[in-house]
Amino acid sequence: MASLLQRSFPRTPSPLSTGERIRRGHTGANYKTNNPWNSIYQFSRPHTVIGTVFSIISVSLLAVEKMSDLNPLFFTTLLQAVIAALLMNTYVVGLNQLTDIDIDKVNKPYLPLASGEYSVGTGAMIVTSSLIMSFWLGWVVGSWPLFVALFVHFVLGTAYSINFPLLRWKRSPVAAAMCILIVRALSNPTAYFLNMQIHVYERPVVFPRSLILATAVMTFFSIVIALFKDIPDIDGDKLFGIQSFTVRMGQKRVFWICISLLEMAYVVAILVGSISPGLWNKVITVLGHAVLATTLWARAKSLDLKSKAAITSFYMFIWKLFYAEYLLIPFVR
């Protein structure tokens, strides 16, 4: 399978000469660290790793109805789900890097494939082994919600990146956004909740208010992440013909669309939190989302959209808001 993957990733000729890349500071060799741990860290795309872990823990806790539910079976199943999901996440982000080597030399030259720290063969080996181990673990656990979550992530992650006919959906901003939305906002929250609800506790299928809120708010976040991730990558996307919304509409307009969507999500969360029956649940969800909304607006107003470093930093800030949301979701009851 590794050889098949390597044949599937034709190296797109770059429109930039080597001299031009060096002049612009985009040559990948400038970012070699010869640090294997840093290479693994960058290849895994750590912000997606943290987001995956937080989301699975958060929605799994939604199935907990009493303290006795926090038993060894819960923690064992949670660990299995997290490991399987992280392996699938490694497959997806690794596949994306394998198909975007030349684009990443412009947009993200610090990534190990773009910098030359990893060969295509090494990347293909990591991606292939991660995929096999993820499906193997999902099958061994025997939970159909877990296996469905892994399968959906695999299908959409592959369709998003791989350069086959009718695929490579990242070239379409709508299709790219739908891939992220379905995985992050619909499939993962529902499947990992049902993994606990059905597989561990053997309870009937229900969709509590907290899960519905998580799905709604994460829909906003998924759309924002899909839109915002292209703002700092506008140069490389233009060069390689990726017609993202940022390329079509401009950075400033897409940026403020993203901020507006997140503020709308916080308003929804505050309204739902205000009708929570428990006083502490109400205080934590309302106050927590109000603080996040205020912090987001203040930081957005001060952002320099002409600085790629500032935009990239703000993108990481959005992921931190994403993590914070999953900390608040379990308090909605």
In this prediction, residue 117 carries a pLDDT of: 87
The tokens for 42 are 């960058």
Query: Band of the pLDDT at 116, cuts 50, 70, 90?
Result: confident
**Residue entry with tokens 């079509």:** 248
The closest alpha carbon to 192, from 325, 62, 47, 44, belongs to 62
Other Cβ atoms less than 10 A from the Cβ of 101: the count is 20
CA–CA separation, 176 and 173 (whole Å) = 5
Residue 244 phi/psi, 5° resolution?
-70, 165
**Residue environment code for 43-70, b if the CB has 16+ CB neighbours within 10 A, otherwise e:** bbbebbbebbbbbbbbbbbbbbeeeeee
User: Average pLDDT, stretch 283-293?
Assistant: 93
In this prediction, residue 306 carries a pLDDT of: 82
CA–CA separation, 150 and 146 (whole Å) = 6
Q: Which amino acid is at 100?
A: D
Per the CB < 8 A criterion, the answer to whether 134 and 198 are in contact is no
Asked if the model's pLDDT at residue 261 lies above 60, the reply is yes
The tokens for 104 are 């990443």
The tokens for 321 are 């808001």
The closest alpha carbon to 310, from 247, 228, 246, belongs to 228
Which sign does the torsion angle of CA 251, 107, 312, 189 carry? positive
CA–CA separation, 276 and 282 (whole Å) = 5
Q: pLDDT of 183-210, one tens digit each? A: 888 899 999 999 999 999 999 998 888 8
Cβ-Cβ contacts under 8 Å for 90 (sequence gap 6 or more): 43, 44, 126, 127, 130
CA–CA separation, 177 and 171 (whole Å) = 11
Q: pLDDT of 159-180, one tens digit each? A: 988 888 888 877 777 887 888 8
Per the CB < 8 A criterion, the answer to whether 56 and 122 are in contact is no
CA–CA separation, 329 and 214 (whole Å) = 6
> What average pLDDT does the structure give for the chain?
84
Asked if the model's pLDDT at residue 111 lies above 80, the reply is yes
Asked if the model's pLDDT at residue 95 lies above 90, the reply is yes
Asked if the model's pLDDT at residue 272 lies above 90, the reply is no
Q: What pTM did the predictor assign? A: 0.78
Greater confidence (132 vs 282) lies with: 132
In this prediction, residue 118 carries a pLDDT of: 87
In this prediction, residue 236 carries a pLDDT of: 67
Cβ-Cβ contacts under 8 Å for 36 (sequence gap 6 or more): none
Cβ-Cβ contacts under 8 Å for 184 (sequence gap 6 or more): 51, 55, 218, 221, 222, 225
In this prediction, residue 3 carries a pLDDT of: 46
Cβ-Cβ contacts under 8 Å for 53 (sequence gap 6 or more): 82, 86
**Residue entry with tokens 């992050």:** 184
